Chains A and B, each alone.
Chain A
């Protein structure tokens, strides 16, 4: 049992919105929850580079290629901010990667879906990044200082991602019949995975209550999902495209959009590793990491050589 006084003091700080910093006392479960959540978030940024990397060499113009490159570079940066935040909890970078490679750590399931056409770059930016932004804006208020600061920086950079995605969709929607069809197909495939990104319903979410009490999360999965749906449907109207949900409609009483039940069997199936891309994503990450081994070794050897030179000079 952890000291009840410490626990009470901790909760008082949380309730007063005083951020928890790395050296402060924290309950072990708070630490473990953050290690799991922040590293999962970091892995998502890094694995999320893969579906987009798939289209880098086939971007339709130099402009779109440069933009996509900048976006992927941002995602690498976001992954690094988050790994650093997670490391302040006492776990080493190498360990996080090992857990990812062993399948012990998860990343957002949405990145296990394939990117079949250029329109998917639009749908990912608009829908997947859009959903991520809703979640991340909320997480700026998380109680753990380093996580909160990483979120603030990430949110500042993310809005470009969503706008570039929407621009692609708008261009295609205003194009030829075939281009419009491409855009519609992308929405059809990415809509449900995007709204699943918010995780299980509040009633089914294993970690939610404690996380809300400790203000690791500030809003529930369902509240964030609704926020995303409401604003995204409005944006979709401007494209003249539809969403693949016949039951989607504005509920005049609640002033929110109602939607069909989510296919949670598909969600859990992908979480458990049976999605279209799970194995490929991890295999690719391991390969990239292994291929970079000689670079890390060379950089280390070089640093050691410089140190020796300095000492003997």
Chain B
């Protein structure tokens, strides 16, 4: 059992319909991309959940680290002028 290989771990992304972004739905094991694609279809779209699938090897995903997430996202904290509510608009001005 120790060398019983279950294949590569893939992450699966699904697009609900054209025009929508792909969204992560889960993962699966498969040995190659063709098999991964068929497994993704069988596993995640048994009820017309989508019409587009992306599969990515889990090891290829580069992710931000949870441990330094505060410091990492800190630069956007003090730039409140990036939000529309920062600006004062004279009363009566419409459609802005």
Contacts and interface: CB of A to CB of B under 8 A. Distances in A.
A268 interface: no
Nearest to B39: A80
A97 to B, nearest CB: 7
B26 A93 contact: no
Nearest to A293: B4
B31 A153 contact: no
B26 A299 contact: no
Contact of A299 (B4, B31, B47, B66): B31
Sorting the interface of chain A by its residue count into under 10, 10 to 19, 20 to 34 or 35 or more gives 20 to 34
Tell me the dominant secondary structure on chain B's binding face: loop
Interface in B1-53: 1-2, 4-7, 9, 25-32, 35, 42-43, 46-47
Given A74-B46, A299-B7, A150 B26 contact: yes
Nearest to B11: A84
A300 B9 contact: no
A149 B11 CA distance: 14
A101 interface: yes
A94 B43 contact: no
A296 B5 contact: yes
Contacts of B46: 70, 73-74, 77, 157
Interface in A237-293: 293
A98 interface: yes
Contacts of B32: 299, 302-303, 306
Nearest to A301: B31
Contacts of A25: 66-67
A300 B7 contact: yes
A25 B43 CA distance: 30
B29 A93 contact: yes
A21 interface: yes
A97 B26 contact: no
Given A23-B65, A299-B7, A299-B35, A101 B27 contact: no
Nearest to A93: B6
A149 B23 CA distance: 13
B6 A80 contact: no
Contacts of A97: 1, 4
A77 B1 contact: no
A309 B29 CA distance: 22
A12 to B, nearest CB: 15
A98 B30 CA distance: 19
Interface of A: 21, 23-25, 70, 73-74, 77, 80-81, 84, 87, 92-94, 97-98, 101, 149-150, 153, 157, 293, 296, 299-300, 302-303, 306
Pairs A-B, 7 closest by C-beta atoms: A303-B32, A23-B66, A303-B31, A299-B31, A84-B27, A93-B6, A98-B1
22 contacts: A21-B66, A23-B65, A25-B66, A74-B46, A81-B43, A84-B28, A87-B27, A93-B6, A93-B29, A94-B1, A94-B2, A94-B4, A97-B1, A97-B4, A157-B47, A293-B4, A296-B4, A299-B7, A299-B35, A300-B7, A302-B32, A303-B7
